[in-house]
Structure 1
Amino acid sequence: MSKRLKKRDSVHFWVPNLFEFKGGIQVYLCDILSTISYLQFQRNFLSNTDIVIIDKLDSDKPEVVSKANEFTGNFSFTFMGNVPRVLRTFAFSLKIIIASFRQRPDLILCGHLNFTPVAYLLHLLLGTPYWILVYGVDAWDIKHPLRRRALQAAKKVISISDYTRSRLVKEENLHPDKISLLPVTFNIERFQVKPKPTYLLNRHKLQENQPVVLTVARLADDEQYKGYDQVIQAMCLVRQKMPDVHYVLVGKGSDRPRVEQLIESLGLEDCVTLAGFVPDEEICDYYNLCDVFIMPSKGEGFGIVYLEALACGKPTIGGNQDGAIDALCRGELGILVDPDNVDEIASTLAEILQGKSTHPIIYQPKILRQRVDEIYGFNKFQSNLLRLLKETSFATP
């Protein structure tokens, strides 16, 4: 069917998952769908476009379908999570190929680099243009030859951080103009500047004036790059200057037994608290419990936790070797440290906790909150995505 006679446009959006697991990628993808929904109904943009979401890992459980139905727009969802795991990748690939041949989408959005070989194949066979969303380690030092070729053939690559963008330009020789930025966003209304919550002080046996350091991260075997080991080691040095300092590490995962052994080997049982899983309704209170938020990672694509801490007005420290550079605006919103340098981590923590930092806004909660909203709030995300979507050949505001 010719483009001229076609009644409706369509975008196929291939995603790893959206609802049954909530990590950074899943939240980001849902934010994209929420924005498209808003643009269709509030701005009459893409109102003649069907958004076909094909989800590899989520199943069609009633609670999942209910969450999908919360997106008001020209959306349709297909969930492949009911397929046995051993067959799921094949079934998912077959599904997206058949759907593309039947519906001939005007654009394919690849929600993960792993899907790009199929998009590249469809581009060769049907001429279908595709965009690729890239996050962090998924797009660093790519070895898979088909994924590298798919990157070169993509109509557009969308990166959540300038750090990942720069690495793709350098490592894959992509032209900078081919890679657009769409930084992550967050719901600032969930995070407020408040006093330290009494119930958490009581729960963890802390004093109101006791200096508290916080990290929020999954304790997974494959996410040790988040730097909590280095913070634990730094506590040995910080407590020499501030004996009552306390480190609270929020998060659960398979790495916890090893972390517990590290704490014990350093004799820090009275200095470090592993808070485990924290429900969403308490996470803001944990940010407000601390005096400094730190995650000196070296493999983070961006790091929403930095934005959440800043929205609570907290001095924030990140690593200088990954997407934290973007989240903290190259040091405008916080302090960047060498994630492998325990001495530097310790001295930076002590300096901030002792009120000696010379950073211009780190002790100004209202300004930190205002700036992070201006740069990464949902209104900014919507305008950034709208700008990108206007570049499609079929989009008409």
Structure 2
Amino acid sequence: MPKRILFLTLYIYSLTGGIEKVCKNFMEAMDSLIQQGKIEDSLTLSLYDQNQHYPKYSSFNGNKIQFLIDTFRKSFSYDVIILSHIHLLPIANLIRWFTPKKKIILFAHGIEVWQPLSLWEKKLLSKIDIWAVSSYTAKKLYDQQGISQQNIHVLSNCLPKDYPFYEEKNNYNLTAKYHIPSDHQILLTVCRLSSAEQYKGYDIVLSALKELVKNHPKLSYLIVGKADETELVRVEKLVIDYDLKQHVVLTGYVSDEEIENLYNQADVFVMPSKGEGFGLVFTEALAHGCRVLAGNADGSSDALLNGELGLLVDPEDVKAVCKGIKTLLSEAILADETSKRKEKVRAYFGFDAYLLKVAHLLDF
């Protein structure tokens, strides 16, 4: 196993998305491996986070020149360079130019590696190791980029260390905060609302909800996450056009603590995405006891163990989404089944399982 690991990333603390969560978990894994005596040392360099420097972590507030200088200088004294994002590949190319045998590993999350790549990017990817967050992303790299399967390893995303697996609903008051009637069943989606992406499926859920409330009027749908202005206008117009103002709440950005409260109160977590690399939000929802509906056309299948942990449907079929939500809402909540799902989540996507996989992949 290598002794010293240099981890390069774009953001960790300045953004709150899935990739940033992956980076935090990986840093935690490095600390655990050091404590276990399996590696000697690790250092994380973050390009865009605000300037902070403390043991094992430095950030550069977007200063690309200083980041490049420090990365290049330190690369000579570390055994392995691990990149959190393909946008850091030019640095790896430079390092390989001077140290051709340097071990380099790239995290492949999803859509960023599915898009067309340049010839030099494909050439370099064929010479380094890739840790794909799902078998779906691994297949995309093989099918679309022509990367050898020998170079690709699946390392699924994980829940943070000591993530709470709630046994029962708390006393959080949705009525007071969001004016949702106390007798309503709750649908929940947690994602970024981006006009540049539009693949999360909340618009499909809104279309399904238009039909659902005709027979299930006591139903509310929370869409949680920061939205850009263009996408917010589009979604608000859909809510009005579908006559759903009494059933839909767009919360905007909320804290992690608030998201946990909403997971805890939700009856069904629903996100029929068609561009998810993995979908850590599904495992978070399951850890809180939610029933889950996801799309069957992307990495969501990995997060739900191909349907063992939730319902997979065609993400472009409104009728299928509508039927799936109706089925999950009508199911009896059995404590034993919920407990079994949580244990599977812990076994496959808990931090301890992740740590074992990281240690195995590094033991080359």
TM-score, L = length of structure 1: 0.84
Counterpart CA distance in 2 for 1:218 and 1:248 is 13
Per the alignment, residue 167 of structure 1 pairs with: 140
Q: 1:44 aligns with which of 27, 32, 37?
A: 37
Per the alignment, residue 55 of structure 1 pairs with: 46
Letter in 1 for 2:33: L
Q: 2:313 aligns with which of 316, 320, 337?
A: 337
Matched, 1:114 2:77: no
Query: How big is each residue's C-alpha offset from its partner over 1:313-333, in whole Å with a ceiling of 9 and x where there is no partner?
Result: 111011111110100011110
Counterpart CA distance in 2 for 1:143 and 1:198 is 47
Counterpart CA distance in 1 for 2:247 and 2:124 is 49
Aligned pair in 2 of structure 1 residues 46, 229: CA closer, same or farther (>3 Å)?
same
Per the alignment, residue 200 of structure 2 pairs with: 226
Deviation at 1:365, TM superposition (A): 1.7
TM-score, L = length of structure 2: 0.91
Aligned pair in 2 of structure 1 residues 196, 229: CA closer, same or farther (>3 Å)?
farther
- Counterpart contact for 2:105–2:131, Cα < 8 Å: yes
In structure 2, runs of 5+ residues without a counterpart are none
Deviation at 1:157, TM superposition (A): 0.9
Aligned pair in 2 of structure 1 residues 334, 279: CA closer, same or farther (>3 Å)?
same
Per the alignment, residue 58 of structure 2 pairs with: 78
Counterpart CA distance in 1 for 2:80 and 2:354 is 21
Counterpart CA distance in 1 for 2:247 and 2:133 is 35
In structure 1, runs of 5+ residues without a counterpart are 1-7, 70-74, 392-397
Counterpart CA distance in 1 for 2:183 and 2:267 is 10
Counterparts of 1:106-255 in structure 2, within 5 Å, are 106-127=79-100, 128-154=102-128, 156-187=129-160, 189-195=163-169, 197-254=171-228, 255=231
Aligned pair in 2 of structure 1 residues 207, 19: CA closer, same or farther (>3 Å)?
same
Deviation at 1:93, TM superposition (A): 3.5
Letter in 2 for 1:331: G
Counterpart CA distance in 2 for 1:82 and 1:297 is 31
DSSP-derived class of the 2:196 partner: helix
Per the alignment, residue 314 of structure 1 pairs with: 290
Counterpart CA distance in 1 for 2:181 and 2:85 is 45
Counterpart CA distance in 1 for 2:124 and 2:321 is 39
Counting aligned pairs with the same residue, the percent is 28
DSSP-derived class of the 2:163 partner: helix
- Counterpart contact for 2:285–2:292, Cα < 8 Å: yes
Counterpart CA distance in 2 for 1:249 and 1:59 is 29
Query: How big is each residue's C-alpha offset from its partner over 1:280-338, in whole Å with a ceiling of 9 and x where there is no partner?
Result: 22222211222111011111111111011111111101111111010001111001111
Per the alignment, residue 261 of structure 1 pairs with: 237
Deviation at 1:246, TM superposition (A): 1.4
The Cα RMSD (Å) is: 2.3
- Counterpart contact for 1:303–1:327, Cα < 8 Å: yes
Matched, 1:12 2:3: no
